[in-house]
Each structure stands twice: as structure tokens, then as C-alpha cells.
Chain A
Amino acid sequence: MIRTIAKVLVVLNSETEPAQISLAVCLSMIAGLTPLMSLHNVLVFFLVLILRVNTSSFLLGLTFFSLIAYAFDPFFHFIGYHVLVFDGLRGLWTSLYNITVFKLSNFYNSIVMGSLLFSLIIFIPLFLALNLGIRKYREHILAWIAKTPIAKAITASKFYEYYMSYHKFRGRL
């Protein structure tokens, strides 16, 4: 876990596209907040692997969202149950219920429905907010840290030079 956190910090401080990190976190939110053994999570994992998103951020996000999901279960149940029993949507749910692939998705479970709906609704706002946040972090905080005497001393040292050479060499492997 510490290794994953360190990797995320490295990625945050690197020149990786903010969107790669944000998308990874947003996908981890879907997989983490919804019950892990759900059909839609196969698609999420597929996207994580095939899209060039940051896997360390995804793994850290998955751990974080899975942990907080238990606290949110009553809330997800509330949303999901009311959406499922809402008269206006009954026809749609009934049609989906009679399609095998949707039946396998467990959409008719109140927590699956509630958590998936919640995740999808906040997916784009969270993606945009994280993008903005990472950019601001790099512009202000990282720039400020780089200007501090300690950071200057470290980056100017021979040890740092050797470490960076090793890091680049490892990255090529």
C-alpha cells in the first residue's frame, strides 16, 4: 500500500496527463462504490487495462472507495430502492429484467442500482474537478516546493543525479 501511495505521489509530481489520473480515480470510484462482483465492473476493469490510465491511482482509489462504500450502503439502498419501485420506470426495469445480460448485472438490487447511479452521476463532475485540482497542484504547490531551499539542495546533489539516471534506466526496462 505504501508503495502504491508513493507511486501515486510520483505520478502526481510527474508529467503524466492529469486526465489519465482523474479517469483512473473515476473508474475506481465505480468499481469501489458498487459491489465488486457485479457485471459492470468487468467493463470497468477492461477499460482500466485498455485505456492508458494510471493503474496505481486506480488501485489506490479502489481501496479508498471500497472502504467508504460500507458507510454509504444505507444511502445507496435508499436511492436504489426508490428508483427501482418508481412507477414511471417500472416498464423500463421490467424490460431489462427480462433480458438475460441485465439480469446477470444485478441491477434490480437496491445497492447495486443506488451505488451505480450515484457513481455515474458524479463521474463527470469528479473527473473535471480532479483534472483542475491536479493542474492547480502542479502549478502552485509543486512549483512552490521546488523553489524551497531543501528541494533545491536535494535536486542539486550528485545523489539525486544518480537516482534520476537509475530511474530513467529502470523506466526504459
Chain B
Amino acid sequence: MKWIRWQGLLAFLAISAVLLAFWFLFIDHFIKRHIEKAGTALVGAKVELDKADLTLFPLGLTLTGLKVTNPDEPMKNSFEAARISFAIDGVDLIRKKYIIDEMAVEGVRLNTERKRSGAIGRQKKAESPEKGALKLLAFELPDLKEVLKKEKIESVDLIKGLDSDIRKDRAKFEKDDESLPDEKKIREYRSRIEKLKQARGFGGVVGGAGELLSLKNEIQDQLNRISVLKDEVGAKAADYGKRVQDAAAAPERDIQKIVKKYSITPEGLANLSGLFIGGKLREWVEDGLRWRAKINRVVSPEGAEGGIKVQKTLRGKGVDVQFPEYRPVPDFLIRRASVSVNIPSGDISGLATNITGDQDMLGSPARIRLSGERLKGLTSALLEGEMNRVMPRDPRDNVNFTIRGYKLHDFDLTQTDFIGVALKDALADFDVRAELRGGSIKASIGSSVRSALIQAAVKGTKNEVLDTIAAALSKVNAFKFNADVTGTLESYRLSVTSDLDRVLSDAAGGVLRERLAPFQKGVQDSVFAKTSKPLSELNNDFKGLLDVNGIVSQRFAELNKIFAEATKGGLPGLKLPF
């Protein structure tokens, strides 16, 4: 039988040619679908592409009409790029290395409107604490009785618990004290020493020395026992002293906690600007961190397992074990991408360099620098950023963003159900400095707003506090603010200071304080009524413990004195050899 079927060779060539033609005809569509799918998974909202065009000579790709939906506002695109084009190294591509020396990203536009929602079922964002605090300004204070019924006064349990501990220890120490030499016993020791001092004659002296030695040993034993008790009581008294002080302050903490929960505290009153500006700033920070997390997935290296780099792939597809390369080259690298961003004021352009997930291999961090000058309604803008993963265990990100003379128009500072504050017109300078290291963030956002026309309108029912605030804000035509962000990426603290604080506090502080005073006093009275008796009992019991401590210390001092007398030698002319 003949084993070779020569017509099979022709069939193989024909099938290969058909597949190649099929690939060539549909590859653009496959690339488009792949980018849309991968982009959507990365961003968490729809990523769409009008067209992908692969060229073979030279090998390169051009993407047209890339639209990336803003996951938080699905009716808007975070950015659009009119055209992205790049050439790719063919030899490296065969080795599964995507090396792009030059990339051009043209016609980038930010925050553009979408015709259809680009949501893919994201969860709704949590309400910012600033919006929650604004509610407190708007609503009447809740019924005090209801509040007190609902809120647990933790200080009562704390005080009672501590009192119970002190009582137990005090009883124990008193019991221990009973087994130790009392006043009577100490007097007895003293009288025995006195007697021995008066001993005369050789027999008296020799007999007295023996008795003195035995007495001294007895006192030494008692002294050791009392010393242990003294140390124990002293340590407990010191510890309880601190805890009693803390318990005494606990009712005040409860009061502050309740007042803070249901109303604006005096500290909050001094920082009202944070309520109006903080929400917007928090949105910016959240947006920044979200985008940073997405970019981080591109520039961060894959994990390692068992000394060999293991790249996790989709479930059911196994894992790719990566071995050392003789000539290490990043799997993916854009050496240089020129970016041109089209904003309403004009064009901002710049460069992004070394975009790769293998910075440790490349030895350089990913950087971006975008700038624009003398634009329409914007004097200058400069963005400089660096994502450093050269040492993957010590990731560092830096962003500096400076804007000068930015003309704001209809810019919402806050929009809630109770009040809306917007900058109808203003000129603003912004300085943003942020540093992320490991899991921590340290950032400052400074701004100076001038020539401002603030539009503040109270919504819904009339509210004295909000009306006063709205009126005060409407009169402001220039202000500055500075925000500091510190903490971890998961839980950071945003603190805002502004010269608006003084304006708002002067205007609304009086009204707020007036509203707050009866509520605060009611909470105070109730908490003190519940805690004063347990606190008084606690103080008495602690005083009792201190008395025990005093008695034990006094006994120790007296006994020590007697021991010194016994050691010095009670008999005239005779020095004890110990």
C-alpha cells in the first residue's frame, strides 16, 4: 500500500491559502473586536472602535475612532481618540513581543457626550461624606428622645466594667493585707528590738544576738511579702489611674459622637468649605485613583511563582510559565507615544514614554508630559506624571499638574437635593501634586479662584441655614482652597482648608450654633445623668484602692525602718556579722 498521498500536499497548500486569505480579509475585524473586548474589560464600561486597519508592509496598525466610556457617567466618554497609529517590529512580533517604537495618538478629546449609554452594569457610587454632611445642614435636628433611645451610651458600660475590676482587685488586696503584719505586729517588733537593746552581761548579749538574728529573719520574710504586695498594688493603682481618667472622659466622647452624627460639630462649623468643595475634590481623587488602577494593570509586572515567572491566564487555559530570556525584551513596550489632546480651549500635546509591564527589564519608568500654552480660556497647562515599577516591590507614582488662568463656566461645585453651588464664571489656577508609594497616598490640591460669580441656590423647602450660606456664597468673588489627601488608597483622609471657611462661619455659624445648642445640651444632660452615679462609684472605689496602696506603702516603710534598726545591731558594742 502506498502511504503518501501527493494530492494531499496540494490540498494542504490550498487550505493554507484559503485560511491566509480569510485571515487577511477578516483580521481587521478580529483586531477591532479584540480591542473592544479587552478595553471594555479593563475600563469597566464600553470601549468602541470605528475601524482597525492592519498593514503588512510596513507592519503596522491604525485605529480610528476609539471611544472609551466613563464608567461613572455612562452617557459620556472619558476620552476619544480620532486616530492611533503605530508600526510594530515584525521579528519581535513572531517572538510574541509587541514592541512599538513610535506611536501617534491624535485628536484626543475628553468628556465627550455619547448618544447611547456605555454602561455594562456597574454598581452605583457610594454617597460622599460631604454630601451626607450637607444633609445635616439642610434637615431639622432629629427628636432627642429618639436619638437617645437609639444610641448606645458606651461610657456607662465602660465605667461599670472598670469599677467592677477595681472592686475585685481592691477586695483581693485588702484580703492579702490582712495576712501581713499590722500596726500591732509592727509595735511588737519594735518593743522586742528595744528589749534586746537593753540586754546586759555576757549571757544576755550572746542570747540577745541569737534572738535578734531570728527576729531579723522574721522581719525580712514579712518585708519580702509586703514588698511583693506593694509592687502589685502600686502597678495596679497606676494602671487603674489612667483607665479611670479615660473613663472620666468617656461621657464627653459619647456626647461628641452623638452630636457629630446628627449635626454639624463646632469643628465642622469651622470647616464648612469642605462640605461645598470637598465633594468635587473627592470625585477628582476617586477618578484619578480609578484611572491609576487601570493604568497600573498595564505597567505592573505579572506575579511570580516558585522562582519562575508564572503568567496567569484565563481559567481553563492553564498557566504560561515564563523562562529567562537570553536577550530580555519586554513583552509589550511603547517606547514613545506622541499624544495630542483636543480640549475646548485648543490643543495640548506631549509625549508618553516607556509604557510597559516590564519596567524592571527596561530599567526606566513610564512617563508622560503634556503641555499647552496661550490657549483659548487657558493661559497654560502642564501635566507631568511618572509610574515607576523599576523595582516592582517599591512602586512609586508621581503626578504634577499645573493649570494657570483657566476660565471656568457653569462649573458645579456641589449639587445635592438641598443646595446647588456652581461657578457661573471664574478664572482659576490649580496646582496638583500627588505621590503614591506602595499602598499610601499623599497629595495636595491647591487652587486660587478669582473673578468668580458664584451661583448658590437652595432647593426644596426654605431653610434658614442654607439660605444664609447661599447668600454669603453669592457675595464671594475670589477664594482659595487647599486640600490634602493622606492615608492609604483604600481609606484616605481628605482635609480642605479655605478662606471660604471664615466667610461661611461668620455668616452661618451663629445660626447653626443656635440650632445646635439645645440638642447638644439635651445630649449632654442625658449622658451625664446616666454616667454620673457610676462615675462617682468608680471614683470612690478607686480612692479605696489608693487607700489600700497607701496603707501597704506605709507598712512597708515602717517595717523597712525596723529592719534597718535590727540590721544595724540592736546590742550595744556588738555589730552583727550580716
Contacts and interface: CB of A to CB of B under 8 A. Distances in A.
B2 A52 contact: yes
A46 B12 CA distance: 6
Query: Chain B: interface residue count, which band?
Result: 20 to 34
A49 B5 contact: yes
B320 A108 contact: yes
Contacts of B326: 98
Interface in A95-111: 97-98, 100, 103-104, 106, 108-111
A104 B94 contact: yes
Contacts of B12: 45-46, 49-50
A84 interface: yes
Contacts of B306: 85
A80 interface: yes
Contacts of B8: 48-51
Nearest to B91: A100
A136 interface: no
A109 B9 CA distance: 30
A73 B321 CA distance: 16
Contacts of A84: 308, 321
Contact of A104 (B96, B317, B325): B96
A107 to B, nearest CB: 10
B95 interface: yes
A70 B3 contact: no
Contacts of B327: 98
Interface string B1-28: 1111110110110010000000000000
Interface string B298-341: 00000000101000010011111111111100000000000000
Given A50-B5, A85-B306, A97 B317 contact: no
Given A49-B12, A103-B95, A111 B317 contact: yes
A17 B322 CA distance: 44
B323 A70 contact: no
A93 interface: yes
A112 B323 contact: no
B5 A110 contact: no
Given A85-B306, A85-B308, A50 B4 contact: yes
Contacts of B324: 94, 97
A52 to B, nearest CB: 5
Contacts of B4: 50-52
A103 B318 contact: no
A77 to B, nearest CB: 5
Contact of B319 (A20, A46, A110): A110
Given A17-B1, A49-B9, A51-B4, A81 B95 contact: no
B2 A81 contact: no
Contact of A73 (B95, B316, B323): B316
Nearest to A47: B8
A9 B95 CA distance: 44
Report whether over half of chain A's contact residues are helix, strand or loop; otherwise say mixed: helix
Contact of B3 (A51, A73, A104, A110): A51
A70 B6 CA distance: 35
A27 B459 CA distance: 76
Contacts of B6: 50
A127 interface: no
Nearest to B305: A85
A98 B323 CA distance: 9
Interface in A13-44: 17, 20, 35
B96 A80 contact: no
Contacts of A147: none
Interface in A60-94: 70, 73, 76-77, 80-81, 84-85, 90, 93-94
B316 to A, nearest CB: 6
A35 B96 CA distance: 18
B316 A70 contact: yes
Contact of B322 (A52, A81, A108): A108
Nearest to B324: A94
Given A52-B5, A94-B323, A109-B317, 18 more contacts: A50-B12, A51-B4, A52-B4, A73-B318, A77-B319, A84-B321, A85-B308, A90-B308, A93-B323, A97-B322, A97-B323, A97-B324, A100-B95, A103-B95, A108-B321, A109-B318, A109-B320, A114-B318
15 contacts: A20-B1, A35-B317, A48-B8, A49-B8, A81-B321, A84-B308, A97-B324, A98-B327, A100-B94, A103-B96, A108-B320, A109-B317, A110-B319, A110-B320, A111-B317
Interface of A: 17, 20, 35, 45-46, 48-52, 70, 73, 76-77, 80-81, 84-85, 90, 93-94, 97-98, 100, 103-104, 106, 108-112, 114
